[in-house]
């Protein structure tokens, strides 16, 4: 089994578990983590012994979203620069945050997000791309982009997950969605006590793994294809372009990129205000 610098992987029978392992930065998603996650997903898909994949986050939180300024990420950006200007930024965001997540949504094996604590912004993106979400009772979901002058995250499935009116409410206010509310709205499949999260997620994964893998593959494909027939994929690409339209505006506001880091040097992940940081 391959060793990663930002992930832990383990196999329990037919269930393969991938855990983001950057708890010191609330599992913020660096370039390295996202590329390693893509590799881990593809290896699990290529392994015939794997029938179900669990995606988890180490520590207190599932994921605070994209890594916007940890020392590791900033050093990596110096080593792996992309072409400058808006064209380079478009390519970086498309490949790293949109194309990746769209591909993970269509993996031919069932995926389950095991969510605790913060699951916001980029964290909510990758959890939403999974087929099922099992959340602890203290899980909190949010897309807070409007607060910073943005439209939403890059992979914007919230209207499909919550319904249009609730999606607008949570976008416009930037409020957190509790685990109980997320279950009621259909974003989350099951809510369990924090202490039982790992056990209950594995139990569900093992139950699904008992089903025929060929049947599971096409059952998943049918649901995804029905969404696509309703315009899901075109809507997602349109939403991505709307997201990109807000970047120049955010740069002017000082809430994007280097300007944002200079303005709020302690907010490395772009997700906490003073009150939330105390939680």
Q: Is residue 20 part of a domain?
A: yes
Let me know if residue 179 belongs to a domain.
yes
- pLDDT at residue 108 greater than cutoff 90: yes
**Per-residue pLDDT, 262:** 66
Residue 15 pairs with which residues in a beta bridge? 12, 52
CATH of the domain at 261: 3.90.226.10
Rounded Cα distance, 147 and 171, in Å? 9
The answer to whether residue 132 scores a pLDDT higher than 90 is: yes
pTM: 0.92
Task: Take residue 133 and report the two structure tokens written for it.
Answer: 């979400």
Contact between 10 and 40 under an 8 Å Cβ cutoff? The reply is no
Residue 275, pLDDT > 60, answer no
Name the average pLDDT for the chain. 92
1 within some domain: no
Residue 273 has pLDDT above 60, yes or no: no
Position 153 in a domain: yes
Q: pLDDT-based confidence at 274, cuts 50/70/90? A: very low
Helix (H, G, I), strand (E, B) or coil at 12: strand
Alpha carbon distance 177, 194 (integer Å): 17
119, 63 Cβ separation under 8 angstroms = yes
Q: What is the pLDDT of residue 213?
A: 97
Mean pLDDT to the nearest integer, 32-43:
97
Least confident of 63-77, 131-145, 188-202: 63-77
Check residue 11 and give its pLDDT. 97
Domain with 269 in it: 7-277
The bridge status of strand 132-136 relative to strand 190-192 is parallel
Name the residue among 135, 182, 191, 137 with its Cα closest to residue 161: 182
The sign of the dihedral angle between the CA atoms of 218, 112, 210, 186 is negative
- Number of domains comprising the chain: 1
Answer yes or no: is pLDDT of 267 > 60. no
Answer whether residue 221 shows pLDDT above 90.
yes
d(CA 158, CA 152): 9
């Amino acid at each position: 089994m391959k060793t990663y610098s930002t992930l832990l992987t383990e196999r329990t029978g037919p269930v393969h578990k991938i855990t983001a392992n950057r708890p010191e930065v609330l599992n913020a998603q660096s370039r390295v983590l996202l590329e390693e996650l893509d590799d881990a997903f593809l290896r699990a898909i290529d392994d015939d012994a794997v029938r179900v994949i669990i995606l988890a986050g180490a520590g207190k939180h599932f994921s605070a979203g994209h890594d916007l300024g940890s020392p590791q990420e900033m050093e990596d950006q110096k080593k792996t620069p992309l072409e400058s200007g808006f064209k380079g930024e478009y390519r970086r965001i498309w490949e790293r945050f949109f194309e990746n997540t769209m591909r993970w949504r269509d993996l031919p094996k069932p995926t389950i997000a095991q969510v605790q604590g913060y699951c916001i912004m980029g964290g909510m993106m990758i959890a939403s791309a999974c087929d099922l979400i099992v959340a602890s009772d203290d899980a909190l979901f949010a897309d807070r982009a409007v607060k910073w002058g943005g439209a939403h995250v890059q992979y914007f499935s919230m209207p499909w997950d919550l319904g249009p009116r609730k999606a607008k409410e949570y976008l416009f206010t930037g409020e957190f969605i509790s685990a109980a509310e997320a279950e009621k709205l259909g974003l989350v499949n099951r809510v369990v006590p924090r202490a039982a999260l790992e056990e209950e997620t594995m139990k569900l994964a093992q139950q699904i793994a008992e089903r025929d893998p060929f049947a599971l593959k096409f059952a998943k494909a049918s649901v995804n294809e029905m969404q696509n027939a309703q315009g899901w994929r075109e809507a997602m690409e349109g939403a991505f372009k709307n997201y990109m339209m807000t970047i120049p505006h955010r740069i002017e506001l000082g809430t994007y990129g280097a300007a944002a880091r200079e303005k709020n040097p302690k907010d490395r992940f772009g997700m906490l205000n003073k009150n939330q940081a105390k939680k």
